[in-house]
Amino acid sequence: MFQNTREFAQQLDSQDSISKYRKEFIFPKVNDRQVIYFTGNSLGLQPKRTKSFVDEIMSDWANLAVEGHFYAEKPWWDYQERFANPLSKIVGAKPKEVTVMNTLTVNLHLLMVSFYRPNAKRYKIICEEKAFPSDQYMLQTQVKFHGFDPKDAIVEIKRRDGEHNIRHEDILAKIDEVGDELALLIMGGVNYYTGQVFDMKSITSHAQSKGAYVGWDLAHGAGNIKLELHDWNVDFAAWCSYKYMNSGPGNASGIFVHENHHHDSSLHRFAGWWGHNKERRFKMEPEFDPVHGAEGWQISNLPVISLAPYLASVEMFDEVGMEKLVEKRDRITSYLEFILLEIQKEVNGNFEIITPSEPSQRACQLSVYLHGEGRNLFDYLMKNGVITDWREPNVIRLAPVPLYCSFEDMYDFGQVLKRGIEELH
């Protein structure tokens, strides 16, 4: 049983096997005090080790200039290959099935070149209602590019009236309804707004049984939930690196392409020389010969200065392992839920947790609907050192990231929340 006391929170911290990693991060301060940071689902904190990875490239650039491509300690021309093993463990893939390049929505567009191939009969795309706006814009422009009407071609799985989350059975039913008109199912593995985690394994299998490709936007999933993309037979996926993987604002994206597609010459792709046969890349040949792996979807040479912070972070993930991260994530999220419910009872607060309470259907985020509390409470939290974020119409999202959040943070947040409600009423 949990307790809403500082002593109990400190006891949980003393039992936390990865608590030492909190010291690996740089925390902002408000009123000269280290903040309680709940927005790792938007931008992760900076790891202290990041600077040395960036400085290394800057030094090599200064001292070696163009020769850094081949003679730097970490040569630039194959810098991205250092991500294959650690990233494959994070997303449950084979090393050849993952790589890094571009940014998230750019990569989803490029992957849709290969995996959205509509015809007169099979042209529809299934996605979730209230997908992240960038995904909505991407899908709309993709179907228009192929000559279809988004109102007809894009099929949204909706929430039932009065419910905040999408029911799994409604997803499967919508796949059945669209049937052999379904060309592609693409969803967020974790819904950005509610924090709901979808059953990607069974959804993937069901959509593929209708002859469709399946892709996942893992912006809120990679580094946050246990993924088994290879074993789930997912066709493709992409994710950003600046949320739970702490690589810095707007930084590079990762992609996954299942090995089933690596030798499929019938797949279209927008090619560039960095996806060309590595052994022959510098021969400047006129015909494209793709690398047989996810790297074959690369286009341009990689921005290694941007990749350096990401490499620093995946090194840390490799040290910790997803099992320990998920174990702490579940415990600290449950403790945060307990604190919220305790404070609500103490002050008769009017708010609702809209993230599923079932641990298998949530990850490192609780979305809290502030019935009647409003923006004033959010502003109070921010001014008092609780960094969270606001989503219209009346939701704050709280992400207790296991790498750097402590159980004592959860207790302290509860006390700030309690004072805020009392002072604003």
Which tokens sit at 253? 């994206």
Q: How confident is the model at residue 375 (pLDDT cuts 50, 70, 90)?
A: confident
**pLDDT band at residue 374 using 50, 70 and 90 as cut-offs:** confident
- Give the pLDDT of residue 158: 96
CB of 9 within 8 A of CB of 407?
yes
Q: Average pLDDT in the 212-228 region?
A: 98
- Going by C-beta distance under 8 Å and a sequence separation of 6 or more, which residues neighbour residue 76? 57, 60, 68, 69, 301, 302, 304
CA 8 – CA 398 distance, rounded (Å): 21
* Separation CA 303–CA 300 (nearest Å): 9
**Structural Rg of the chain based on CA atoms:** 23
Strand pairing report for 386-387 and 36-37: parallel
Rounded to the nearest 10 degrees, the angle between the axes of helix 407-424 and helix 6-14 is 160
Q: State the residue for tokens 């047989």.
A: 292
- Report the alpha-carbon angle 272-101-292, nearest 5: 60
Domains within the chain, CATH numbers bracketed: 6-34+321-424 (3.90.1150.10), 52-320 (3.40.640.10)
Q: What is the pTM of this model?
A: 0.96
pLDDT at 66: 97
pLDDT at residue 372 above 80? no
On the question of pLDDT at 41 being above 90, the answer is yes
**Per-residue pLDDT tens over the stretch 114-138:** 999 999 999 999 999 988 889 999 9
The per-residue DSSP string of 76-117 comes to GGGGGGGGHHHHHHHHT--GGGEEEES-HHHHHHHHHHHH--
Report residue 261's pLDDT band, with 50, 70 and 90 as the boundaries.
Answer: very high
**Does position 43 have pLDDT exceeding 90, yes or no?**
yes
Query: pLDDT digits over 274-329, tens only?
Result: 999 888 888 888 899 899 999 999 999 999 999 999 999 999 999 999 999 999 99
